[in-house]
């Protein structure tokens, strides 16, 4: 057993799920070992960040409020941060275009599992089907990306 390889894929997929399966063929792991390691890491990260997303949103709000209060107390002007950034516009455009399925399936894949889970929870956290859709998206996207990684390995062998 190659536990250190499994845990390295597990940890990498907790952060960036899209690129983690491409390390499997390099580490000489088979398809199933790579798939299970990557999907398990992504599911754990999605669970942690989806269910703690309210904490992160409240923390960010309190931090913004404290900065505003400190700038008022000191009399220094607060630096303006634009709310309508390209990234925020992209997320809202994706939400309107693809809805809950697009955000739940693709945000953890293309953004990252932590950011994608928090964004999905922010938009659709009140719906009961959101977290199962994230899990389904992780399983399907894991199979696709792991399959692509092993197909690419066959061509370059």
- Cα–Cα dist 1/92, whole Å: 44
Between the CA of residue 9 and those of 34, 61, 100, 114, what are the distances in Å? Answer: 7, 33, 28, 16
CA distances in angstroms from 119 to 9, 46, 99, 104, 150, listed in the order given:
24, 11, 12, 9, 30
pLDDT in tens, the chain (157 residues): 788 888 999 999 998 888 999 999 999 999 999 999 999 999 999 999 999 988 988 998 899 888 888 888 887 777 777 777 887 887 788 888 888 888 888 888 888 899 889 888 988 888 899 999 999 999 999 999 999 999 998 888 6
- Supply the DSSP string of 30-71, one letter for each residue: -HHHHHHHHHHHHHHHHHHHHHTHHHHHHHHHHHHHHHHHHH
User: Could you list the residue range(s) of the whole structural domain that residue 108 is in?
Assistant: 3-155
DSSP labels for 75-109?
TPPPPP--SS-HHHHHHHHHHHHHHHHHHHHHHHH
DSSP state of 127: S
pTM: 0.83
Q: Give how many domains the chain has, as a whole number.
A: 1
Token pair for residue 72? Answer: 């008022």
């Amino acid at each position: 057993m190659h536990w250190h390889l499994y845990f390295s894929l597990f940890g990498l997929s907790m952060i960036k799920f899209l690129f983690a399966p491409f390390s499997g063929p390099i580490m000489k792991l088979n398809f199933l070992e790579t798939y299970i390691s990557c999907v398990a890491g992504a599911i754990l990260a999605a669970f942690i960040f989806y269910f703690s997303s309210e904490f992160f949103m409240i923390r960010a709000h309190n931090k913004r409020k404290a900065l505003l209060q400190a700038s008022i107390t000191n009399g220094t002007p607060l630096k303006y941060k634009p709310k309508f950034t390209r990234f925020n516009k992209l997320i809202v455009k994706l939400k309107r275009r693809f809805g809950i399925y697009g955000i739940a399936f693709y945000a953890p894949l293309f953004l990252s599992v932590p950011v994608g889970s928090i964004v999905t929870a922010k938009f659709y956290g009140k719906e009961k089907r959101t977290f199962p859709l994230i899990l389904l998206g992780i399983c399907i996207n894991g199979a696709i990306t792991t399959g692509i990684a092993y197909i690419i390995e066959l061509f370059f062998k």
